Amino acid sequence: NAGVTQTPKFQVLKTGQSMTLQCAQDMNHEYMSWYRQDPGMGLRLIHYSVGAGITDQGEVPNGYNVSRSTTEDFPLRLLSAAPSQTSVYFCASSAPLGGGDTDTQYFGPGTRLTVL
């Protein structure tokens, strides 16, 4: 299993540009989440999904959109990038379909985004 994969690893954008951060997992997990990590702030929840077709907002959703059309993929879209969105973004998944351990979290390697 590849686990949780994220692309790209690094990205530089100009203010106002849009882009999509990709996240995929091959563990048949129900729950997927996006977090951002900023110095001194810890990790904060942006959006999450409890299954295909179901998404909801976390603590800091403004400026981001998500969709979950399949169990495997959970892309994060930046609509119009701003310098305040410079951060490291982590995708995580948990809860295998069919039961079992629902709480252990698996994290992707992260995407380091800089908005100029």
Partner 1 sequence: KNEVEQSPQNLTAQEGEFITINCSYSVGISALHWLQQHPGGGIVSLFMLSSGKKKHGRLIATINIQEKHSSLHITASHPRDSAVYICAVPNAGGTSYGKLTFGQGTILTVHP
27 binds partner 1 (CB under 8 A): no
| Shortest distance (Å) from residue 56 CB to partner 1 | 9
Residue 99 engages partner 1 in binding (rule: CB under 8 A):
no
Residue given tokens 């709480």 in the structure block: 103
Q: Alpha-carbon distance 43 to 34, whole Å?
A: 10
- Other C-beta atoms lying within 10 Å of the C-beta of residue 90: 21
For residues 42 and 99, which CB has a smaller minimum distance to partner 1 in the complex? 42
Which of 13, 24, 32, 60 touches partner 1 (CB under 8 A)?
32
Closer CB to partner 1, 11 or 107, in the complex? 107
| Residue 59 binding partner 1, by CB under 8 A | yes
Contact pattern from residue 63 through residue 92 relative to partner 1, giving x for each residue in contact according to CB under 8 A and a dash for the rest: -------------------------x-x-x
Round to whole Å and give the CA distance between 7 and 23: 7
Interior angle at CA 21, CA 6 and CA 76, nearest 5: 115
Q: β-pairing, 106-107 with 42-51?
A: unpaired
Per CB under 8 A, 44 contacts partner 1: yes
